[in-house]
Amino acid sequence: MLSREQIIEAAIGLLDAGGESVLTVRALSERLATGSGAISYHVGKRDDLLDAATEMVVTGALATKSGRAGKAPEDEIRVVALALFDAIAEHRWLATRLTLQIVRNPVGPVTVGIFERIGRQLAALGVPQASWFDAASTLVHYILGAISQNARIEGDTSDVEPGAEREEFLGAASAAWRELAPEDYPFMHAIVGQMADHDDREQFLTGIAIVLDGLTHLG
């Protein structure tokens, strides 16, 4: 008998293969060899299916990277951040849907799961309780913004192949920066080599470190 989990897993497969544009009830029905009524009964409408797929991927990623007793608060925050970074690297459609979940469903399991895992670490970092919401929101906003920027944006009409997208983009950008007049743009010329050769994951962690350093000075 077809289960809700099977439907959601099949939906994730379609999303991974072609993004949101290929996820239709008809396509999912054909993949599962079932009728649209079964999908509606178990999951609901298409938006419900997208939310369920987001929840399954995110909760699975966070569960895999579950916190361990005795871990330093900075390390636990990095674990959560990298779990989301890696999930979006694997599921490019997730960047848009995760942001929508945070904005539209503040009581949903995705939003509260992320905020709870991060928020529990703030007291140990010395952040005063009056600043917990702002501190957690700053971290979540940085995490989502940074990893969304690295992901292929849903609806992008670029002809660049996904595998070559990053290298080609950085090469074109660095070449354009080198064409700028050095006397007018000395900073851009100073960092052009760093931009062309940087590691996205390491840059992401550097940003986390900068935010955490700022939060420790709120007390």
Give me the residue spans of the domains in the chain: 67-215
Neighbouring C-alpha atoms within 13 Å toward the C-beta of 149: 9
* pLDDT number for residue 159: 43
* pLDDT number for residue 35: 87
Q: List alpha helices for the chain, DSSP H.
A: 4-18, 25-32, 36-42, 46-64, 73-90, 94-104, 109-119, 132-150, 162-178, 186-197, 200-215
Q: How far is CA 214 from the centre of its chain?
A: 22
Q: Which fold has domain 67-215?
A: Tetracycline Repressor; domain 2 (1.10.357)
Taking CA atoms, 137 is separated from 103, 121, 145, in Å, by 12, 13, 12
pLDDT in 10s for each residue of the chain, 219 residues = 789 999 999 999 999 999 999 999 899 999 999 888 889 889 988 999 999 999 999 999 998 766 566 689 999 999 999 999 999 989 989 999 998 988 888 898 999 999 999 999 999 999 999 999 999 999 999 998 888 877 654 444 344 444 456 778 788 888 999 999 999 999 999 999 888 788 888 999 999 999 999 988 876
Please give the biggest Cα pair distance in the chain: 70
- Considering the entire predicted model, what is its pTM? 0.81
* pLDDT number for residue 180: 94
* pLDDT number for residue 158: 40
Q: For residue 217, what is the DSSP state? A: T
Burial of 187 (0-12, 13-18, 19+ CB in 10 A): exposed
